[in-house]
Amino acid sequence: MTDYLQVSTATETREQALELAKSVVAAKLAAGAQIVGPVTSVFWHLGEFGTGEEWQLLLKARADQYPQIQAHLIGHHPWTNPEVVATAIVEGSPDYLRWVGSTTAPETI
């Protein structure tokens, strides 16, 4: 069951994560979003070792919409090169997955 994904990114502030979440869900690219944080990150960036606090954004979406989600997140993200990754949802409750699919389905006229 790889028709659905959990897409994640992170931001420096809760407010940035909330704005990204609102924009993606309002565009019906994701059925819902969860903001988790702050989380502690340990990383290499521009050749330097560092640590910091970030806010993680988790989106529930259809796999066929990933290219649009990725473009949306990169286009609206405050960072130049943000992490945007997707993990396949290999199993899920049928009613929940139907909700994800129907919430993000293209509107027909």
> How far apart are the C-alpha atoms of 54 and 102, rounded to whole Å?
31
> How far apart are the C-alpha atoms of 81 and 101, rounded to whole Å?
29
Place of tokens 């994560």: 17
**Which range of residues forms the domain containing residue 15?**
4-103
Whole-number pLDDT of residue 109: 53
> How far apart are the C-alpha atoms of 69 and 46, rounded to whole Å?
26
From first to last of the 109 residues of the chain, give the pLDDT tens digit. 469 999 999 999 999 999 999 999 999 999 999 999 999 999 998 899 999 999 999 999 999 999 999 999 999 999 999 999 999 999 999 999 999 999 998 775 5
Whole-number pLDDT of residue 1: 45
Instruction: Using alpha carbons, list the distances in angstroms from residue 93 to 4, 87, 89, 99.
Output: 12, 17, 11, 10
What CATH code is carried by the domain that includes residue 31?
3.30.70.120
Residue 108 lies in a domain: no
> How far apart are the C-alpha atoms of 21 and 73, rounded to whole Å?
9
Exposed, middle or buried, 104 (CB in 10 Å: 0-12/13-18/19+)?
Answer: buried
Tally of structural domains, the chain: 1
- If DSSP codes are grouped into helix, strand and coil, which group holds residue 61? strand
Whole-number pLDDT of residue 106: 77
The pair of three-digit structure tokens given for residue 42, joined into one six-digit string: 């340990």
- If DSSP codes are grouped into helix, strand and coil, which group holds residue 106? coil
Residue 109 lies in a domain: no
